[in-house]
Structure 1
C-alpha cells in the first residue's frame, strides 16, 4: 500500500462521506498518517518519491507495516523504509 503524495481535502472528505462506512474515522486517520509519514520520508530523502534529483541524500526501500492503537481502534500504518541511515522518527 502506498500513500498518495498529496491529498485534496475537500475531494477526499466528500468521497469518504459518500461511502460512509462504519470505519470512516479509522480510514481517514490511516490515510492522513500514511500521507504524513510519506511527506516526512520525502523531506529526509531530499526529493519527492520516484523523482531523480541531484540533491537526493537517501532513497526509499519499501514500507514496514505497524499497528498503531488509537481511540478509534487499531490502524495499520505504512512506515517508509529508507535505504541509507534512517532519520525518520515515529513518535
Structure 2
C-alpha cells in the first residue's frame, strides 16, 4: 500500500486519535517512513510522483512490500520501485 498524499499530516493524526487505533505508533512510523522513501525516490527521479518535468531522469514502477522489524513491532512497508536502476532506502 502506498503512502496517502491526499490527507495532511494533521488530518491523518486527528483521524487516528478519533478512531482510537491501538497500533497508532506503528501507523505513525509506517506513514513517516513511506513519506521519506517517497521523497527520496522523487529526488532520484528528478520529479515528483506523477509530475512531468524536463529534469526527470527516471520513473517510478510501483512498489514492493518488505517487513521492517522495529521496537514498535513489525511494519509492512511499501518501498518504491524505479523503472531503471534500484532504490534501497537508507
Q: TM-score when scaled to structure 2?
A: 0.89
Match of residue 58 from structure 1: 58
1:24-44: CA deviation from partner (whole Å, max 9, x where unpaired): 111111111111111110010
Within-5 A mapping of 1:8-47 = 8-47=8-47
Q: Following TM superposition, by how much is the alpha carbon of 1:53 offset from its aligned partner in structure 2, in angstroms?
A: 1.0
Q: Which runs of 5+ in 2 are unaligned?
A: none
In the comparison of the two structures, how many residue pairs are matched? 90
SS in 2 for 1:65: strand
Q: Following TM superposition, by how much is the alpha carbon of 1:12 offset from its aligned partner in structure 2, in angstroms?
A: 2.2
RMSD: 1.6
Q: Which runs of 5+ in 1 are unaligned?
A: none
Question: How many Å separate the matches in 2 of 1:31 and 1:80?
Answer: 14
Tell me if structure 2 keeps the 8 A contact 1:6–1:35: no
